[in-house]
Structure 1
Amino acid sequence: MQSIFMHTKMELRLLSRDIIGLFFVFIMPALCFYFFGKLFETQHADDLQYFNQYIPGMIGVVLFTAGFYIVGLQAVIDREKGVYKRLKGTPVRTVLILQAMVIKGLFAVIIGSIEILLIGHLGLDAPLNVNVMQFLLSMLLAASAFIAVGFIVASLFQRVHSALAIGFVMLYPMLFLSGATIPIESLPSSLKAVSVVIPLRYAVHLLQNGWSGRLFTASSIGDASVLFVILAIGIILGRNIFKWDRS
C-alpha cells in the first residue's frame, strides 16, 4: 500500500508540472465548453435535451484528453528520458507504476469533469438533470477505454514529437465529428460516415445515455462493445511500455 501511495504521489507531482496535459485537460475543454454553450444558448434556452447531450459530450472530450495527454504522452516522455530503462534491475514492480498512472488519469478525469459541471451549472445556467449512478458507470467504462488509448499511444510511439503530432491530428476530429460539440445528425452525410471511425463518438453516446438514464438499453450495446475492445487492446499493448530494456 505504501509503495502504490508513493508512486501515485510521484505521478501527481509530474501532473502538476505537465503544462501540455494541464492545458488540454483543464483549460481547452473548459474554454470550448463555455464558448459553444454561449454560442448556442439563445437557440436552446428552454431545450433540456440540448444540455443532456452537450454536457456529457464535453466530459467525453475531457476523458479523451486525459487518457491521451496525461497518461499516454507522459509515458512517452518518461521512456524517451530513459526513466523505464533506469528501472531495469530495481525491485520496482511494473504493476505499481501501471496502477499509479491509472489513478493519475482517473484523478484528472474527475477534476476535469467537475470543472465542466460547474461551468455548465454556474456559467451557463444548465440544469443538471442527470442519472448519477448510470452516468458514473458510463464514465468509468469510457475513462478506462481512453486511459487504454493512452497506453496504446505510448506503446506505438517512441518519441514525444511523434506522439504530439498524432495528438493534434486526432484532436479536431474528436471534437467536431464525435457529437461532443456538434450533434452527429447535423453533420453532412460524408462526415457522418467518417465519424463512424472516431472512438470518442461511442464514448459520447454512451455518456449521453448514462446521463439521461438510458444506459441499460439496446442503444448502448454497440458503444459499450467498442469501448471494451479499445480497453482490451490497450491492456495488451500497454504491457510493452514497461519493458525496462526498451530505449
Structure 2
Amino acid sequence: MKTLSRVVRFESLRMARNFAPVFFALAFPVMMLCMFGGIYGNEPSSQFDGRGTVDMSVPAYLVLVVSVTGLMSFPLGLAEYRDRKVLKRFRATPVRASAFLIAQGLVNILLSLAGSVLLIAAGYLFFDLHLPATASAALATLGALLLATAAMYAIGGVVAALAPSERAATAVANLVYFPMIFLSGATVPLQIFPAAMKTISNALPATYAVNLLQHTWLDSATNVALDTGVLAGVVVLGAVAAVRLFRWE
C-alpha cells in the first residue's frame, strides 16, 4: 500500500504536467457549457421537452469528461509505458508493474471526478443549473456516472491492449474518441440530429451513457434497461478482452 501511494503521487505529478488531458477534462467541458449556456441560457425549451439547455447539457458533458480520461489519457499512458519498456523494467524490481496500471486508473478517475465537480459547480453558479430533484435521483445519477466511467475505461483498456505501439495507440484512441463524443450527444444534443445520424449514434456506447445520465438527472424518457444493459455489457466484455489481450512488453 505504501508503494502504491508513492506511485499514485508520482503519476499525479506526471499528470499535472500533461496539458492535454488536464485541459480537456477540466477546462473544455466548462468552456462548452459557457459557450452554449451563454447563447441559449437555461430557459425551458420545447425542443428539450420543457427542460433548459444547460440542464440537458451538464449530464451529457459528464460523459465527455469521463471519455477524455477513459478513452484517451488512460490507454495512452499505458501504451507509453509499455512502448518505452517502463513496465518491463519494473517487472524486474520489487515494485510490481501492476502498481503503475492501478495508479494510472486512480489518477485518471480522480481527474474525471475533479472535472465533473467543476462542471456541475459552473453550471450551478453561473447558469442556474437544476440539480437532481431528490436524494435518490442524485444517487442514481452517481451510479449511472460510475457505470459510464467503467464502460469508457473498459474500452480504453482494449485500445491499450491491442495497440502495438504508442503511436498506434494514439491513432486508435483518436478514432474511437472523436466519434464517441461528437455523435453520441455528449457535445451536440441528440435532439437536433437528423434521423440518419441518430441511427449511427445508436451504435456508440456513449449514447447510452448520455441517455442514462439525462434520465437519472432529469427524469427524461429513455429505455433504462437497454441503456444499463449496453453499458454493463461493454464493461464486462471490454474488461475481459483487455485482461486477456494486454501485453506487458
Question: How far is the alpha carbon of 1:64 from its aligned partner?
Answer: 0.6
Residue in 1 that maps onto 2:20: 20
Query: Which stretches in structure 1 are left out of the alignment for 5+ residues?
Result: none
1:224 has 2:222 as partner: no
Q: Compared with structure 1, are the counterparts of its residues 168 and 95 closer, same or farther at alpha carbon in structure 2 (3 Å cutoff)?
A: closer
1:138 has 2:144 as partner: yes
For the residues of structure 2 that align with 1:123 and 1:159, how far apart are their CA atoms?
43
1:45-84 map, 5 Å: 45-47=43-45, 49-50=51-52, 51-84=54-87
CA RMSD of aligned residues (A): 2.4
Q: Compared with structure 1, are the counterparts of its residues 218 and 204 closer, same or farther at alpha carbon in structure 2 (3 Å cutoff)?
A: closer
Match of 2:202 among 184, 196, 201: 196
Partner AA of 1:220 in structure 2: V
Partner AA of 1:82 in structure 2: K
Question: How far is the alpha carbon of 1:107 from its aligned partner?
Answer: 0.3
Q: Compared with structure 1, are the counterparts of its residues 95 and 221 closer, same or farther at alpha carbon in structure 2 (3 Å cutoff)?
A: farther
For the residues of structure 2 that align with 1:18 and 1:181, how far apart are their CA atoms?
23
Q: Deviations over 1:18-39 (max 9, x none)?
A: 2221122122222222212222
Moved over 6 A (4+): none
Give the number of equivalent residue pairs: 241
Aligned partner of residue 94 in structure 2, secondary structure:
coil
Aligned partner of residue 187 in structure 2, secondary structure:
coil
For the residues of structure 2 that align with 1:190 and 1:100, how far apart are their CA atoms?
41
Query: Which stretches in structure 2 are left out of the alignment for 5+ residues?
Result: none
Question: How far is the alpha carbon of 1:113 from its aligned partner?
Answer: 0.3
Q: Compared with structure 1, are the counterparts of its residues 171 and 69 closer, same or farther at alpha carbon in structure 2 (3 Å cutoff)?
A: closer
Residue in 1 that maps onto 2:4: 4
For the residues of structure 2 that align with 1:153 and 1:73, how far apart are their CA atoms?
9
Q: Compared with structure 1, are the counterparts of its residues 95 and 161 closer, same or farther at alpha carbon in structure 2 (3 Å cutoff)?
A: closer
TM-score, normalised to structure 2, is 0.86
1:1-247 map, 5 Å: 1-41=1-41, 44-47=42-45, 49-50=51-52, 51-130=54-133, 131-212=137-218, 219-239=223-243, 243-244=247-248, 246=249
Partner AA of 1:45 in structure 2: E
For the residues of structure 2 that align with 1:168 and 1:40, how far apart are their CA atoms?
30
Q: Is the 8 A contact 1:154 1:241 kept in 2?
A: no
Q: Is the 8 A contact 1:36 1:181 kept in 2?
A: no
Aligned partner of residue 32 in structure 2, secondary structure:
helix
